[in-house]
Chains A and B, each alone.
Chain A
Amino acid sequence: MYKKQECVAMLLAGGQGSRLYTLTEKTAKPAVRFGGKYRIIDFPLSNCVNSGIYTVGVLTQYQPLQLNEYIGNGQPWDLDRGQSGVMVLPPYQAKSGADWYKGTANAIYQNFNFIDRYDPDYVLILSGDHIYKMDYAKMLAAHKEKGADCTIAVLEVTLEEASRFGIMNTDEDLRITEFEEKPKHPKSTKASMGIYIFNNALLRRYLEEDEADPASSKDFGKNVIPKMLADGCKMYAYPFHGYWKDVGTIQSLWEANMDLVGEQPVFDLRDRDWRIYSRNYSDPPHFVGEYAKIANSLITEGCTIEGIVENSVLSSGVKVCRGAYIKDSIIMSGVTVGEGATVNYSIVDDGAVIGAGSTVGRTKASGEKITVIGSGISLKPATDVPGGEMVDEEWLKSQED
């Protein structure tokens, strides 16, 4: 039988991540590769396990095949458990009808049957599109200490950035007095990180009310949080200090990857006290050839490097042929970069083949945007892909015409 859990985590992983364009054409955003051997979802999942939260529901919707396969039984995160563990929760057909998840709040509402099994006191809501290391146990302790109804993790941002976030205005005790979604003239710099802890019974009541409201868009940020605040619920901000990055855009995904690179990287994954776990496959060690040159880069197992790699992140099984030159780029799994090809300031997705002598992207210094090569795309030898292009099947066709 199921055991009572103090806290159950619900991880919203259904997002399309449309601003990642071709990278999320065939996969959900949380399954996008990151940092050589990770996927974005490894971060919230590892944080849960490292925080002692072993019951995690993962809500999937958009292109779930890779994500479902990746999570599997949860074994890489030690979440293959008898009385708790990880559970993938897709939308389903119920007796009274079938619904897609209409919003973040509706997704949780539809899965109260999962939450109820564990009779939790608290529910932790997470999203699958941020890169950070956080101890949720400390946040839960703060929630209990304040006797809060809801606690929202916040990050200090600059006043300029504040207009891009949901901003919490708080009193001295960190009690939230006002919530503004993307304010033009922000009064505070405490940005919501999309991490909430609710008292279970209260959450249920509000989600039921929200569900009954036809005008609601069924979203935590837009509907549920403002409603609770208006009703005078005890809502507190929990300030987080540390690295946190929303990887929702090509630019931010590139930046976050680069934050891992360096002797003292901005974001350090080598810390053995807070490990990030991932599903590892059986690749052999990587091989560095006679004429290779690698500087300031991360290289993963299964790679064969015969060319030059600078300031880049290479995922598993990448083949860099002789005379190839890769700079300021993110190369995902199983990519082949042909002889003499140049890849500059680009993201190359799984299994792409860059034909010999091709030029992909322009230098970072040129001021051009990041170039993206979609998964499985095969570029003929000597193809030139200008800066800022999103190369998918359609792009290839347009070149032929």
Chain B
Amino acid sequence: MSASGIIFSNIHDNNIPELTRLRTIASVPFACRYRFIDFTLSNMVNSNIYNISVITNYNYQSLMDHIGSGKDWDLARRSGGLKILPPNITAYANPYLEGRTNSRLDSLKNVATSIGRITDDYVVLSDCDVICNVDFGDMIRAHQESGADMTIAVKTAELTPETAHSTVIFRSDEGGKITEVLAYPNDFSGSADIGLNMIVMSTAYLRQMVLEASTRGYSSLSRDIIGRRCGYMNYRIYRINGYCPSISSFADYYKHSMELLTDPTARESLFGVKNRPVLTKVRNSTPTYYAQGSSVKNSMVADGCFIEGTVENSIIFRGAKIGRNATVKNSIIMQDTIVGDGAFLNCVITDKNAVIRDQRMLAGAETQPFYVSKGKMI
């Protein structure tokens, strides 16, 4: 069994417009030192998937900077390894500008040549909006054993009309065969299997699907392919029971970040899995310094920080500086942010390189954290 990976780095960008103004969803910072794509890349590498294409369509400078040659994931290889596939701008209009739902299939059409060159038997397609530590090997085995044409990872969730709107619901029979697809329903509540945007299929099936999508003008994978064909094709669900939040809004981002502090099992199931480390770009920071008089409680802190003040229930990224007598509560302080002496922050998210000047007081609410954009000085 050998498999290739295809990662979509832009899909769902619109879900967190604050954090994706200058980056792809794949490169949104998360948990002190990671980017969303680190989880997807690590899951693939930890499942012995070493031929990975990352499809990018716009805003991908930060992503390129982050993954570089791929060497931090052992993906800088002569044969295979990491391949970044930017848009083919001269040959196609950019379908991404038209809307969110038609993206995946159009992206695949764009890279049809590259798909043609895949020599592995199977392909794992994945977006970057789900944070988890899973073994794709298990999923591929389940796919092989069931003889499915396509296997789609799902989790069971309780939905309200508000949350259901950003999900794709898969209904299946007792054996797990998909019978109906509800894409982005407007009015749904109750328990349902929602898609995690991780799909396994054979390379041959993928090629045929892309070819057909091109000839018939299909553009939505869930609606035009899975939804139309599930009656007569063998599409199956694969339930993931562990910790796997999908980040589909700014509030979600905040909530699931904070979950890492309040829920030890969330931390364990992401970072404590034996032989499945989450890999990321190495930055060569120094260890973090805690000054005399600093007070840090229930927080996650990366390397390279300098902490003189008080930090509670917060996530502090690499190279951040928390000034003397400053208080940071329930906040997410991203890379190289400077919080001045005596500043007070509650429910605040500061993006990279932000500067909060001395004595400033900023507060948001848990449902609506106050956001300070990249490089901004307040």
Contacts and interface: CB of A to CB of B under 8 A. Distances in A.
Task: Name the residue among A270, A288, A313 with the largest chain B CB count within 10 angstroms.
Answer: A288
B297 A35 contact: no
Contacts of A36: 286-287
Interface string B8-44: 0000000000000000000000011100000000000
B292 A261 contact: no
Q: Please classify the interface of chain A as helix (H, G, I), strand (E, B), loop, or mixed, using the class held by over half of its residues.
A: loop
Contacts of B308: 263
Contacts of A309: 290
A276 B32 CA distance: 22
Interface string A199-217: 0000000000000000000
A269 interface: yes
B377 to A, nearest CB: 20
B293 interface: yes
B295 A285 contact: no
A295 interface: yes
Given A282-B279, A285-B301, A295 B287 contact: no
Given A275-B284, A295-B292, A313-B287, A289 B300 contact: no
A298 B271 contact: no
A251 interface: no
Interface string B341-358: 000000000000000000
Interface in A229-273: 261, 263, 269-270
B289 interface: yes
A286 B285 CA distance: 14
B267 A295 contact: no
Interface residues of B, number: 37
Given A282-B277, A282-B278, A263 B298 contact: no
Contacts of B315: 285
A375 interface: no
A223 to B, nearest CB: 39
A100 interface: no
B286 A292 contact: no
B289 A298 contact: yes
A75 B290 contact: no
A291 B32 CA distance: 21
Contacts of A398: none
Contacts of A296: 290-292
A76 B282 CA distance: 9
Contacts of B282: 76, 280
A129 B103 CA distance: 57
Nearest to B316: A285
Contacts of A301: 33, 287, 302-303
Contact of B296 (A35, A76, A294, A298): A294
A309 to B, nearest CB: 8
Nearest to B264: A287
B195 to A, nearest CB: 28
Given A37-B303, A285-B31, A75 B71 contact: yes
A293 B291 contact: no
A286 B284 contact: no
Contacts of A297: 289-290
Given A294-B294, A295-B293, 13 more contacts: A76-B282, A263-B308, A280-B282, A282-B278, A286-B300, A287-B299, A287-B300, A288-B296, A288-B298, A295-B290, A296-B290, A296-B292, A299-B301
16 contacts: A37-B286, A270-B304, A277-B284, A278-B284, A282-B278, A284-B270, A285-B32, A285-B303, A288-B298, A289-B297, A295-B291, A297-B289, A299-B288, A301-B287, A301-B303, A309-B290
Q: Which 6 A-B pairs have the closest CB atoms?
A: A285-B32, A36-B287, A284-B271, A298-B287, A294-B290, A282-B277
